[in-house]
Chains A and B, each alone.
Chain A
Amino acid sequence: MGIGEGSTATGVQGAPLPARARAADAGDGADAGLTADELRRGLARARRSIDRHAAALTRLDAVLGDGDHGDNMAIGFRAVEELVAGLPAETLPGDLLRAVGHRLVATVGGASGPLYGTAFIEAGFRAGEAGRLEPALVGEMLRAATAGLARRGRCAIGDKTMFDTLAPATDAVVAAIESGATAAEATRAGIRAGRRGMRGTRALVARRGLALRIGERSRGHVDPGAASCLLLLIALARR
């Protein structure tokens, strides 16, 4: 099973694919809000997931970019793991996310570092000094991350980027929360929408990043950024 729909989800033959995330694992107790500890566990899962799928991400990037996305992300999230281990236990979720963002900017090569870094920093700013991230706040944090990504990357829906995963996932989470859904339901809706967005990048022609060079030839391949974004969402959403 894969990020998307099985063995062809990445659009690259032979690419090993991640196990389908059990988004439903976001327990119903999550309505009480995410703690910093839970966030730390989510980041550790993210590191493991990225490591597992680094080769597949790199293969996707070899088609559309310069073939280093998986390696870069793996390096970045190992650095994040080290950073998090060194932070005091009482570090607030917002501070944790901002520190992670800065570490990603500094360690992930290519455009992904500044872009993911921006998303984490913006989400961290929005978390402010909250000790628990309640569902409504998580929705606002996702909004802030999405807006930051759009601004820094000058990207929009349909550009074939990580934004095509993050933006619909955010919309779905916010809509679910606003309609009174539980945290678990909102998480499931978000992952579903993110996965749909990621799969949708396969049919798109790239309009941002290095894939711009290959124009029409970029069609038919899932964007590696969209794929890694889904991996992160799944890892961070699990409880």
Chain B
Amino acid sequence: MSEPTFDASSDDPAPSRLEVERLRARLAALESDHRRAFEQAQREADALFAQYQLSQLLASGGSPTDLGRAVVEEIVRLAGAVAGAIWLGEAGRRELVLLAVSGEFDVAVPGRFAGPEEGVSYVDGRAGLHLVVLGGEPLATLVVLRAEPGRELDTDGLRVAQLARHELAVAFSGARLREALERERHDLEAVVDGATDVILQVDEGSRLVRMNPAGERLLGIPAAAAVGRTCGDVLGCATVAGHEPAACPLAEVIRTGAPIGYRETVIAAAGGPVQVAGGYSVTPGRPGSTARATAILRDITAVRALEQLREGFVATVSHELRTPLALVRGYAESVLHLDLDPERRMEYVDRIHQVTSRLGTLVDQILDVTHLDADPLILERAPVSLGALIARLRGDLALAGDDGRLRVDVPADLPAIDVDAGRIGQVLANLVGNALKYAPGDSPVAIGAAVESDWLVVAIEDEGIGVPEEERGLVLEPFHRAWNVRESRTPGSGLGLYICRRLVEAHGGRLSLADRADGRPGTRVEFTVPLLPDARRAARRNGPERSADA
């Protein structure tokens, strides 16, 4: 401020020198007061701003670690320190846990800090450290700061940190709570998203509020597209199950408040109607949220199919076992109790032998099926030629005198195949056996083969009764026999083709039934087996090689 001036022309008597001095001193004192007040106001404004910045940081959320890192940086800056660290008390534990460090700070603070009273900071002379306890129970917060050598910490900054201690404790409690909730949400999400059952939830208006990925897969609708629609619309139960909205189990649990432990219904899945078994529960409404019903639905189509299969299996096996057993018993009783002539007796014993052989085959097949359904098939693959497998089959047929009916039309230079010789030999024997069994006694059975890309296609053709087109897929399932075969009363279990198909598929191949290539009555069974890798390369070089087909 400029020095006061006096008008010399004034009539007033000039003030005495003493008076001038006094006024100057007074002015200097006022200026000094004014400067102090101004500086004080500046410091208060700085402190308020610092407090605001720290509060903003504390309110900004984040994980405890992120928050700890930001807070310790801020407090180090506020206090004018060069380094610092922040420890937090663990609920239910006396030890403090290091949360974050700023600057170079390698001082280990005792795990258990029996520090001074809350809010008091003190200086540890030995390490040049300032320990500031910012919070008490239940969540103690300890900040340790290191000042630059020879410099004091900023007391205003420390004061700001001290003032924020309650906010700090609340912010860290909140951050931990958020972290715990986030972890729990993540775990629950993993359970729901990983479930193979459909889990969905509807509100009181039967509108879908959530659906898990299993639901998306079964229904073929993304959850985002399903949410907001009514469950009846999404599940299509009114259309496929024909039930009234009132019969909806989800609506029922919301209405009654009682859970439904098990109820079966039909829903419209992506691939058509699917039978599901469901458990239904309700979360009652609370202030701020309405009631919600949750359904856990399991597709039981496979279970039902398995049950049917099991029932069919039991019925068929009982029948197939009982019939020959009754025959054996009849012949045996005749032999035992009737006075038969030796020739007749031999004949009956021979019949018993035949029937028990059939029984043996049936039991083998049942064991095969059980084995195929229960275990993954272990194949002993090795290079083998189709010619060798046919030669072995011909040898077996020669024992029964059937080899004369076999017509083999297979090129001599067919590439080797990469198969389990025992298993594919079994397929060949079974298919040729079927052809011999279902075709007239003197008709030929032909085997042909051709290379198609990486595969050898083998075909067996007979002149038998054939398999009606509509039955061709079904006869490849267990225990299914075509109606014309059943009518022919030719004995059989309905397992042979199923076993063949499974064995071929285990090699990666396909088995199918077709009309004969020449269009005459009879059956053509075709299956594919993989060529050896070397043979595949050779086959690709030579182009498709077709044999004189069967």
Contacts and interface: CB of A to CB of B under 8 A. Distances in A.
B46 A151 contact: yes
A44 interface: no
B56 A212 contact: no
Interface stretch (B12-20, B65-73, B406-414, B483-491): B65-73
B180 interface: no
A215 B77 contact: no
B70 A213 contact: yes
A153 B56 CA distance: 14
Contact of A209 (B46, B53, B69): B53
A213 B67 contact: yes
A213 B52 contact: no
A154 B158 CA distance: 13
5 contacts: A151-B42, A214-B66, A215-B66, A215-B69, A215-B70
A210 to B, nearest CB: 6
A36 B78 CA distance: 37
Nearest to A155: B77
B241 to A, nearest CB: 49
Contacts of A22: none
B66 A213 contact: yes
Contacts of B49: 111, 114, 152-153
A154 B57 contact: no
Interface residues of B, number: 20
A111 B52 contact: yes
Contacts of B459: none
A66 interface: yes
B50 A154 contact: yes
B9 interface: no
A41 to B, nearest CB: 30
A11 B264 CA distance: 58
Contact of A212 (B45, B70, B78): B70
B56 A210 contact: yes
B62 interface: yes
B74 interface: yes
Nearest to A215: B69
Nearest to B154: A154
Contacts of A132: none
B60 interface: yes
B62 A213 contact: yes
Contacts of A110: 56
B45 A152 contact: yes
A2 to B, nearest CB: 29
Contacts of A66: 60
Interface string B381-408: 0000000000000000000000000000
B74 A212 contact: yes
Contacts of A153: 49
A212 B50 contact: no
B77 A208 contact: yes
Given A154-B77, A214-B66, 20 more contacts: A66-B60, A110-B56, A111-B49, A111-B56, A114-B45, A151-B46, A152-B49, A154-B50, A154-B78, A154-B157, A207-B77, A208-B53, A210-B56, A210-B57, A212-B70, A213-B60, A213-B62, A213-B66, A213-B70, A215-B70
Interface in A188-239: 207-210, 212-215
